[in-house]
Every structure is written in C-alpha cells, then in structure tokens.
Amino acid sequence: MVESYLDKDLIKKTLTLSDIENILIDLGSGPSKDDGNGNLIYQTVCHGGDSYKLYYYPNEDGGLFHCYTHCGESFDIFELVIRARRATGITITFYQAVKYVASISNKMIYSDAQSVEQVEKITDWDWINRIKKSVNSHIVIPQLSEISEHVLENFSYIPNSLWLDEGISAESMKKYQIGYWGKEHKITIPHRDMNGRLIGIRGRALDEEDILAKRKYAPLTIEGRCLKHSLGNNLYGLCQNEEAIKRTGKICIVESEKSVLLGDTYYHQNNFTVAVCGSSLTTVQANIIKKLGVREVILGFDKEFKDPKSRMAEAYWQKQMKLASQLTPYCTVYILWDDQELLNQKDAPFDQGKETLELLMKNKYEITAEDIANVSKI
C-alpha cells in the first residue's frame, strides 16, 4: 500500500511572507525588519543569537536565509528550523522540521509516495547539499594591469617635510614607498593591489597652481605613459594591512592615502585602515571587503559639515547610510560621527591626532537596519 507523506517542495513553494514571520516568531525571533530592498531581517535564532543579522531573501532559490554572523551560511526554512531547535538543545530530523513548518503555516500538503519511515532514511542530496553559498564564493574582483617596478627608480625617497609636519612618520613613508618627483614637484604615492602588484602611481601636488586648479591628487605621467588605474577597483593600503585586518576582524575605510599613512604612524602593525581614494564606496570595493570576511567595518570618511544639526550634516548622514547599505547585511557597520566638533569641516578622523581619533572610535555609532531603511524612504 502506498502511503502519503508531506510534500516538502510544495510546502516551501507556497509559504508566504506571513508564514515565514509566524515561523520565525515561534522559533524565538522578534518581529522582522525590512532592509529597504524587500528582504526581511530576523534575529539569529539559527545559532541562539539575538542580533538582527539573519536575512531572508524571498526571491532567491525559492526562499533563502543567510546568517551574517556565527553561521556565515545560507540555508532554507527546513534547515533553519533544525538549527534553531539544535540551539535550544533539541535535535530533530529533517522530516520533523518539514512537519513543524507545515503545522505552523497550516499547509499540511501530502503527496503519494514512500512511507514516512522511508522518507526519513533517504539521503536527500538536495537537502544535504543545501545551498551553503557564502556570498563570498560568487564575488569576482577584476585584476588590474601591472606596472613595472623600475618606474619607482625615477623618484627620490627623502621623507617629505609637508607630511612630516602633518604627523606622518618617516618610517611610515618608507614602508609605503612614498617618494618625491622633482620634475613635477609632487609627492609620489605607489598603489598596489592586495597581492602586492604595482598597479598605479598617484602624485600629490605641491605647487599652489595645481592645487587651486583641483589637481591636488592625480596620476603621474612618465615618458608619455599615464600611470593611472581604476581607483574604484582597489583599496589603498590593503596590501600592507591585510594581516592586521584579518587578525582583528576589523577594517576602517577612509578617503585618502594620507589617513592610511597616519594610521600606520599611530598603530604600526595593528593598522587596519584602507582608503577608497574618493568620497564613495564602489561595488568592487565593497566586494573586496566582503571577501575579507571582517566582522566590523568602520566608516571614517571626511567630515562635510560644521553644525551636526545642519542640512549639510543630514545630507552627509544620508550619503553615509547609502554607503553602509552595501555592507550591513554582511557585518556590523559603524560610523565615526563627530557631534562634539572635534574635527574641522573637511577633516578626516585621522587628521587631528591619535587622541582625537581614539575618542571618535570610542564613541562610534553602530548603523542599524532602521537607519538604512529610513534613508531609503527619503
């Protein structure tokens, strides 16, 4: 006699967002939050946590969860139930998880097939090999063209007095191969990718004429060749600081190379700072950060306002939230928000010395899903 069994595929296919909400609340999560893109965020009941880092993507593979903290994996609703129960000390089978989902959602959908006992014994490869796709595995970072190391022989390597006066040590300039090109009267800044390959050289103008013409930072041109690269496809300082970033699980994102050098001066081998070399974060740069697997990201962009209650401050806040939205699903994101007027307008958090930086770090603000959602509505 052919017995009926619960049809896991059909049950999962017919689950509504309301069903998901009821199941997650029953498992111990608080009500969901919206990430602004139609995805739901729950507390991490998958491993007994309480942070809102368990995302539900309804349009991926028939409904997929991803835990961005302890688990670091993707799984469907049945695997979530198994994990959540295990976190409370209860071990259940896959079929029991299907039955639980069907019961809570009131979708007791049966199909004629093998007996329940047989179903529980079957090696369900579709389940065992459940999509554990780490977001990282799908990320491809474009490789930039390499420049010959011989080009560095054009420069002299005496520490520049301007940057010495601004607090950057001679040791840090030597470590990052900061030089001087007398022909164009510029500080030279070699850029390397995370593998140490020389990919570009930028110049920091010292002539007032260049600075007034908004050519303060620009790629060098030597013997007719412009030594530029796509700044948005790299993070300055990652080559030197990757070990500290992975060791601490943290990364601080700043705008300029100078802030990275100040970070090296302050913290040496514990510097976890990288520069985007601009005032925004590209998709490629965000992907590089995701692949690093950090737990914390700290946004340390230049201050663009005087009064923290002004419209300029509000515009700056909205801009930072949009930057953060690329990373908040994957890690905890903080912002160095200066509401105590420790910095001048246009200052980077590193510009006023180590003590000021550490005060900003101590008071850093954690960006929440609500912060992102509120900006998305504007």
pLDDT, one tens digit per residue, over 314-361 is 999 999 999 999 998 888 999 999 999 999 999 999 999 999 999 999
Give the mean pLDDT of 72-88. 90
How far apart, in Å, are the Cα atoms of 288 and each of 236, 268, 294, 368?
A: 12, 22, 11, 22
- Does the structure show a pLDDT above 60 at 204? yes
Give the mean pLDDT of 9-17. 91
Query: Can you give the pLDDT at residue 313?
Result: 94
CA–centroid distance for 79 within its chain: 26
Q: Closest by alpha carbon to 266, among 309, 303, 300, 220?
A: 300
Which residues pair with residue 201 across a beta bridge?
Answer: 190
Q: Are 144 and 230 in contact (CB under 8 A)?
A: yes
pLDDT, one tens digit per residue, over 130-141 is 333 344 555 678
Backbone φ and ψ of 88, nearest 5°: -100, 5
Q: Give the lowest-confidence range in 66-75, 168-177, 313-322.
A: 66-75
How far apart, in Å, are the Cα atoms of 56 and each of 26, 118, 270, 322?
A: 16, 31, 35, 20
Q: How confident is the model at residue 70 (pLDDT cuts 50, 70, 90)?
A: confident
- What is the SS3 assignment for 336? coil
Q: Give the lowest-confidence range in 67-81, 116-130, 361-375.
A: 116-130
Query: Can you give the pLDDT at residue 104?
Result: 93
332-335 and 221-222: which strand pairing?
Answer: unpaired
- Please give the Cα distance from 199 to 143 (Å, whole number): 10
Q: How confident is the model at residue 128 (pLDDT cuts 50, 70, 90)?
A: very low
The CATH class that applies to domain 233-376 reads: alpha beta
Task: Give alpha helix (H) positions in the chain.
Answer: 8-13, 17-27, 77-87, 94-105, 116-121, 125-128, 161-165, 170-175, 208-212, 238-248, 257-267, 283-292, 311-324, 354-362, 369-376
pLDDT, one tens digit per residue, over 32-54 is 998 888 899 999 999 999 999 99
- Please give the Cα distance from 53 to 56 (Å, whole number): 10
Query: Can you give the pLDDT at residue 74?
Result: 85
Q: Where are the domains of the chain?
A: 3-133, 149-231, 233-376
- Does the structure show a pLDDT above 90 at 80? yes
Q: Between these two residues, 255 and 10, which has the higher pLDDT value?
A: 255
- Does the structure show a pLDDT above 80 at 122? no
Query: Residue 316: CA atoms inside 13 Å, Cβ hemisphere, count?
Result: 23
pLDDT, one tens digit per residue, over 329-342 is 888 999 999 999 99
Mean pLDDT of all residues belonging to the chain: 88
2.40.50.100, 1.10.3720.10, 3.90.980.10, 3.40.50.1820: CATH of 149-231: 3.90.980.10
Tell me, yes or no, if the two domains 149-231 and 233-376 fold the same way.
no
- Does the structure show a pLDDT above 60 at 275? yes
Q: Give the lowest-confidence range in 66-70, 241-245, 308-312.
A: 66-70
